[in-house]
């Protein structure tokens, strides 16, 4: 568990576990990928000064949160595993943990994105929670929502949604683990919907970024966001049937979508892409300082999926975002792609 969101979440979990001493072990082990900060090890800084100077400077981490640099060591006695790692490391980490964790472990993933099952992109994507579940053989719930790390770390009021398939058994436990005065949790059962909202909203944020870059106003942007949300609901309905429409009203749905389309990095990247006219890779390097934007990747994975299903016409926004990112379509043409949207027929 690292990254800035990871550290922000560790601060919350460090506090909540102290509040429920009968339910939770007071010690929270946080896996830290070791780095040297000047002459000091990052893990030692965290364990002595209680601050992640690299990923969340200035924020005190509760003393019961302990940094552990050996991945297996950090997880082997855990009953609950919280996954907050960059998307691309999930597979490697899980394979390293395989067979070395307890049997009744409950996992929960905060990772937003989809896993492409093969380099050839043969259509079909995999949810990160399902990937973890398959490798480790444990139940994996998800936590998604409008949770920019900086604001969570500042203890600003925000909300999140937990998707927990075994809600009757573990819903209350997960809620207690994360719910706090300024981090308000709702728990729902259709975990797949929660997770798909978290991944697919990044495609919509790209569309919102193009809209901003082209200089359109509030109405157009709102229309683009709404049409994007409609494609998210249609995608979930088609590929993961059985979702509850109400779940899209949770923080993982509209709230995260709004935040991402106004304040997130995919929006920023795609706005700059239009304004500068530079290739997307180059803008990403210049603008995001080493962080990656999931939107274009997710758009590509989803494109192949709907294309192979013969459903491209039902997802004109998703398709347009992919083609614009690839340079196959000019950003200026996006709105024309939306004018005959199935929503308007």
Binding-site members are 89, 112, 149, 265-266, 294
Is 100 an annotated catalytic residue? Answer: no
> From CA 245, how far away is CA 235, in angstroms rounded?
13
Count helices and strands (H / E) in the chain.
15, 13
Looking at 76, 126, 165, 201, which residue is catalytic?
A: 201
Helix axes 128-136, 90-97, angle to 10 degrees: 20
Cβ atoms within 10 Å of 311's Cβ, excluding its own: 16
Of the pair 101, 227, the CB lying nearest a second copy is at: 227
What's the full length of the chain, in residues?
345
CB of 143 to a second copy, least distance (A): 14
* Closest by CA position to 191, among listed 106, 297, 117: 106
Of the pair 43, 186, the CB lying nearest a second copy is at: 186
Of the pair 90, 293, the CB lying nearest a second copy is at: 293
CB of 220 to a second copy, least distance (A): 5
Alpha helix stretches (DSSP H) within 98-153? 128-136, 149-153
CB of 158 to a second copy, least distance (A): 4
Of the pair 94, 144, the CB lying nearest a second copy is at: 144
DSSP, residue by residue, 272-314: HHHHH---HHHHHHHHHTT---SHHHHHHHHHHHHHHTT-GGG
Of the pair 70, 154, the CB lying nearest a second copy is at: 154
Cβ atoms within 10 Å of 216's Cβ, excluding its own: 16
CB of 189 to a second copy, least distance (A): 16
Using DSSP, state whether 155 is helix, strand or coil: coil
φ, ψ dihedrals at 109, nearest 5°: -110, 135
Residues forming contacts to a second copy in the complex (CB under 8 A) are 146-148, 150-152, 154, 156-159, 179, 181-182, 184-186, 216-223, 225-227, 229-230, 233, 245-246, 248-251, 254-256, 258-259, 262-263, 335, 338-339, 341, 343-344
Helix axes 316-325, 295-308, angle to 10 degrees: 120
Binding-site residues for substrate = 112, 265-266
CB of 163 to a second copy, least distance (A): 16
Q: Which residues participate in catalysis according to the annotation?
A: 201
């Amino acid at each position: 568990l690292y990254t800035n969101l990871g550290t922000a979440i560790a601060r919350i979990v460090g506090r909540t576990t102290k509040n429920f001493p009968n339910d939770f072990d007071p010690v929270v082990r946080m896996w830290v990928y070791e780095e040297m900060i000047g002459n000091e090890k990052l893990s030692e800084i965290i364990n002595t000064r209680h601050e992640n100077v690299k990923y969340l400077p200035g924020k005190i981490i509760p003393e019961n949160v302990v940094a552990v640099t050996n991945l297996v060591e950090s997880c082997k006695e855990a009953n609950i595993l919280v996954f907050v790692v960059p998307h691309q490391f999930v597979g490697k980490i899980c394979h390293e943990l395989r067979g070395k964790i307890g049997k009744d472990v409950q996992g929960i993933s905060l990772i937003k994105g989809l896993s492409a099952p093969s380099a050839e992109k043969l259509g079909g994507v995999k949810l990160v929670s399902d990937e973890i579940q398959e490798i480790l053989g444990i139940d994996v719930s998800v936590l998604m929502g409008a949770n920019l790390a900086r604001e969570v770390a500042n203890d600003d009021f925000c909300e999140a949604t937990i998707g927990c398939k075994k809600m009757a058994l573990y819903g209350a436990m997960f809620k207690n683990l994360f719910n706090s005065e300024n981090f308000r949790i709702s728990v729902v059962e259709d975990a797949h919907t929660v997770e798909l909202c978290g991944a697919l909203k990044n495609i919509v944020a790209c569309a919102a970024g193009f809209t901003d870059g082209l200089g359109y106003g509030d109405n157009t942007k709102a229309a683009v966001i709404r049409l994007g949300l409609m494609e998210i609901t249609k995608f979930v309905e088609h590929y993961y049937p059985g979702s509850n429409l109400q779940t899209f009203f949770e923080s993982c749905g509209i709230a995260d979508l709004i935040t991402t389309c106004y304040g997130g990095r995919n929006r920023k990247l795609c706005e700059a892409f239009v304004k500068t006219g530079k290739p997307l890779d180059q803008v990403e390097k210049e603008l995001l300082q080493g962080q990656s934007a999931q939107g274009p990747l997710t758009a590509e994975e989803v494109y192949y999926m709907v294309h192979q299903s013969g459903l491209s016409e039902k997802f004109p926004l998703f398709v347009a975002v992919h083609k614009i990112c690839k340079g196959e379509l000019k950003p200026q043409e996006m709105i024309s792609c939306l004018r005959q949207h199935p929503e308007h027929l």
